[in-house]
Structure 1
Amino acid sequence: MNEDLKHRFYISIDKSKLNIPMIHNFLCSADLAENMPLEVLAKSIENSLCFGLYEDEQQVGFARVITDYATSALLKDVFILEPYRRQGLGKWFVQYILEYSELQTVPKWFLGTKDAHGLYRRCGFKSLAAPEKMMMRFSH
């Protein structure tokens, strides 16, 4: 990422700065929220470690981590708004999250992605070695 861009953008974990309606609109339009009601998204944000990416006071990216801060972390809902893509912000944003001080002792990270495998491989993620050992349950 170009050094000039690093001076234009910053990352914050301050949840009061998050633009929850914008996050909800983006996740729903990108088919990432599966018609999740706004109140459900707000509760998920309340109970996760969240990262906002900003240019001045305008939020241009978001990610959240579901974690116990000790054994595992699930990286979810990562996005950069379209006008800000292809500048290296995504890689910088994900690296910042992975290097966040409170998560340094977490040995296992998980994520799901439809189309950003290349980005996450550059950040050290690999396909599951034994996907047959992973299971999922849907309650609704």
Structure 2
Amino acid sequence: MFTLIRDDGYQLSTDPDRIDLDRVHRWLSTDAYWALGRSRETVARAFAGSVPYGVYRDGGQVAVARVVTDRATFAWLCDVYVMPEERGRGLGTWLATAVRDHLAGLGVRRILLATHDAHEVYAKIGFTPVQPGRWMELDHRPVNPATGKEPTPAAPLTVEG
């Protein structure tokens, strides 16, 4: 397992037993545009098949990222989320940098990610736009025939607690 500690007390760990799946599910399914409505079972399966990166402070989880990887040549960085109360403290950049450096230590030379709104976070640590003439995809997500885009999920559920 991989662990880092910042001078201000934030801890980062890849220990899957530390991930608070209920909290992560709540974040992703109600506040992350790419995962609105995602079921708890899907979140659990996704994290079980990935390398989880959790950020903690005072015993509670405050951020998360997930990496799908062969741990040798390729990785996909996804589900990066910092809880709103913790934003503005550089945690997203610290988390992405730690993921990049940890994967580099494993020999992974290519990391991909997708974002609509955080390009500057990733550009700061070396990510660049993908070459459109080189990459292809197979995307089976449902598409709204009227717009040709992925449908907008229903309004997030209110979660108490």
Deviations 1:60-110 (A, max 9, x none): 000010001122100000011111111111111111111116754111110
Helix, strand or coil for the counterpart of 2:7?
helix
For residue 34 of structure 1, report the CA deviation from its aligned partner.
4.1
For residue 56 of structure 1, report the CA deviation from its aligned partner.
2.0
Give the total of aligned pairs: 136
Flag structure 2 segments of 5+ consecutive residues without an equivalent.
1-5, 143-161
Q: Could you tell me which residue of structure 1 aligns to residue 135 of structure 2? A: 133
Matches within 5 A, 1:1-140: 6-29=7-30, 30-100=32-102, 103-131=105-133, 133-138=135-140
**More moved, 33-42 vs 107-116:** 33-42
Flag structure 1 segments of 5+ consecutive residues without an equivalent.
none
Pick the structure with more helix per residue.
1
Helix, strand or coil for the counterpart of 1:27?
helix
TM-score by length of 1: 0.88
Q: 1-side partners of 2:133 and 2:37: how far apart?
A: 27
Helix, strand or coil for the counterpart of 1:123?
coil
* Percent of residue pairs bearing the same amino acid type: 29
For residue 12 of structure 1, report the CA deviation from its aligned partner.
0.9
Is the alpha carbon distance of 1:131 and 1:63 closer, same or farther for their aligned partners in structure 2, counting shifts above 3 Å?
farther
Q: 2-side partners of 1:113 and 1:139: how far apart?
A: 16
Aligned residues: CA RMSD: 1.8
The runs of 4+ residues in structure 1 deviating greater than 4 Å are none
Q: 1-side partners of 2:48 and 2:104: how far apart?
A: 17
Asked if structure 2 preserves the Cα contact closer than 8 Å seen for 1:13 and 1:52, the reply is yes
